[in-house]
Amino acid sequence: MQEAPSGAGRGRVVIVVEDNERSRRLARDVLELSGFRAVGVETAEDLFAAVVLHDPAMVLMDIQLPGLDGVAAFHRLRGDPATAGIPVVAVTAYAMRGDEERFLAEGFDGYLSKPIDVRTFASDLLAILQRREG
């Protein structure tokens, strides 16, 4: 997939849930260069407050988080009618055979393995959003 054109995100808010500061900053920087508004949070608990404040177009969910893990946080989002429709992408170092299928079977809208590919990251997310929006 090719790099998303600059501005392709058109101001859409994406919440990046990532406990590693460097990874969170990298994802935010790449998203912002593509026109998204990126909000970084460190924990699932911070995510729930950020969702209320920012009404995101998408959540990028690290799976290995301190406290509530990404899968449990995902199910909590899906269980709340106010947040059930937000696309959530698993972004994880779990990259063994079958991991992508496992996270998609959980109900995630997409899966990206770490480290992210900065050349295709934004366009991959746009493709997921477009599939979701029909």
Residue 8 lies in a domain: no
List the domain range (segments joined by +) for residue 95.
13-133
Q: What is the CATH number of the domain that holds 94?
A: 3.40.50.2300
Torsion of the alpha carbons at 130, 34, 60 and 38, rounded to the nearest 10: -130
Take residue 96 and report the two structure tokens written for it: 């063994």
What is the pTM for the complete model shown?
0.90
Q: For residue range 50-60, list pLDDT tens digits in order.
A: 999 999 999 99
Residue 1 lies in a domain: no
Residue 5 lies in a domain: no
How many CA atoms does the CB half-sphere of 50 hold within 13 Å? Answer: 22
Q: For residue range 38-94, list pLDDT tens digits in order.
A: 999 999 999 999 999 999 999 999 999 999 999 999 999 999 999 999 999 999 887
Q: Per the structure, how many domains does the chain have?
A: 1
Residue 84 lies in a domain: yes
